[in-house]
Copies of this chain bind each other. A is one copy, B any other.
Amino acid sequence: MVKDVTSIRVRYQETDKMGIAYHGNYFTWLEVARIHLLDSINCPYSKLEEAGYFLPVISCSCEFKNPAKFDDRIEIEVCLREIGQVRINLEYTLRRDELILAHAKTSHAFVNEHGKVVRPPKDFATSANGETTLGDV
């Protein structure tokens, strides 16, 4: 399965009056990591949507171990765990230096523009399994 690492820098807008990053914003950071992973396997999400595929989140969860603060550089490791017939599961670990800040998961369905669940495009499954796609050649 495919792994990727990306990083974000915590914005002031993402903090709350507790002086830490608001928990809901972590899901935006997971998105950044997910988009980066899709880039890395040559399946940019914008191209998927152009081809009529959408990947709504059907479930998500996060465990917060240590708070993220303004201006922190956070490394997000993301792993595409499983590709089912119609859904994919991703797992994430967020770190500042060596300190683990959070573990998270998201599951996504492939749907078409009418919201109907569909199979992933063939290219995607091939790339996500780490095989070379024709498009790469």
User: Across the interface, do A61 and B58 meet the contact criterion of CB distance under 8 Å?
Assistant: no
User: Across the interface, do A13 and B24 meet the contact criterion of CB distance under 8 Å?
Assistant: yes
User: Across the interface, do A22 and B17 meet the contact criterion of CB distance under 8 Å?
Assistant: no
Please name all residues of chain B whose beta carbon is closer than 8 Å to the beta carbon of A67 when the two chains form the complex: 56, 115
| Alpha-carbon separation in the docked complex, A56 to B57 (Å) | 24
Closest to A47 in B: B71
- List residues of A whose CB falls within 8 A of some B CB: 11-13, 15-20, 22-28, 31-32, 35, 44-46, 54, 56-64, 67, 70-71, 115
Secondary structure dominating the interface of A = mixed
For the complex formed by this chain, how many copies does it contain in all? 4
User: Across the interface, do B44 and A71 meet the contact criterion of CB distance under 8 Å?
Assistant: yes
Nearest chain B CB to A14 CB, angstrom units: 8
Interface residue from B25, B35, B62 paired with A12 (Cβ < 8 Å): B35
Nearest chain B CB to A88 CB, angstrom units: 15
Interface residue from B56, B58, B64 paired with A20 (Cβ < 8 Å): B56
Please name all residues of chain B whose beta carbon is closer than 8 Å to the beta carbon of A12 when the two chains form the complex: 16-17, 22, 31, 35, 45
